[in-house]
Amino acid sequence: MKSAVIVFPASNCDRDAAVALEQMTGRKPHMVWHQECDLPDVDLVVLPGGFSYGDYLRSGAMAGQSAVMRAVKAHAKKGGAVLGICNGFQVLTESHLLPGALMRNAGLKFVCRPVTMAVEETQNVFTRKYLHGQQVTFPVAHGDGNYFADEETLNRLEGEGRVVFRYAPGQNPNGSSRDIAGILSEKRNVLGLMPHPERVVDPLLGGTDGRGLFESLIETLS
């Protein structure tokens, strides 16, 4: 599987994503600066976590206007896989590759801790190696992770099986609507989630629950 990680100003999880991808695939991903207008020939594009542009205006708002996002949209339009993690999820909503918005955490505080989620949907390229209903624990680290969408959009996401991860009861760290932690695009090839799977692929870092996501991508895209 060939991959690329987009690097925005103030990204701070781009290297985490690159290390996880190299560890899982055996090959280094392309690191693509946000001002590039083209992407290399890859199967997967990762929008990493961090604080792109210092979260100026809104988290992900300025990154969503970066030159490289035109290429990311074209990649998604032709069916290529796109994974947005934390700030990457925010960029995906700001660029309208995913519906809804990520708002300030309900408690108005930055949250950094492991959270448990249920895998709600496995019929996609990102989670096919998990079991439906399986509980996994990923870390979160965000101040603007409160997923919001209107009732019509939320009902459509639920009805179309596009809610992929949902915080377990009592685990919602940010007040997200319906405990939603991650969603798919209509074509099911774009995934945005707030928790960090790339930080739980190596047991030395305290867990391996994130490996299933990368194993799913490798099995499907290689």
13 is catalytic: no
Tell me, yes or no, if 30 is annotated catalytic. Answer: no
CA distances from 175 to 13, 35, 45, 105, 169 (A): 23, 34, 28, 6, 12
- Rounded (10°) angle between helices 14-25 and 211-221: 60
Using alpha carbons, select from 173, 195, 192 the residue that is nearest to residue 98: 192
CB 87 within 8 A of CB 94: no
Token pair listed for 162: 């596009």
* Edge-to-edge strand ranges of the sheet holding 163-167: 30-33, 3-7, 44-47, 81-85, 190-193, 180-184, 163-167, 111-119, 135-142
Q: Which of left, alpha, beta for 193 (phi over 0: left; psi -120 to 50: alpha)?
A: beta
- Of 34, 75, 142, 196, catalytic: 196
Q: Which of 13, 34, 86, 120 is an active site residue?
A: 86
The two structure tokens encoding residue 94:
């700001």
- Residue at 65: amino acid letter: Q
Q: Which residues are catalytic?
A: 86, 196, 198
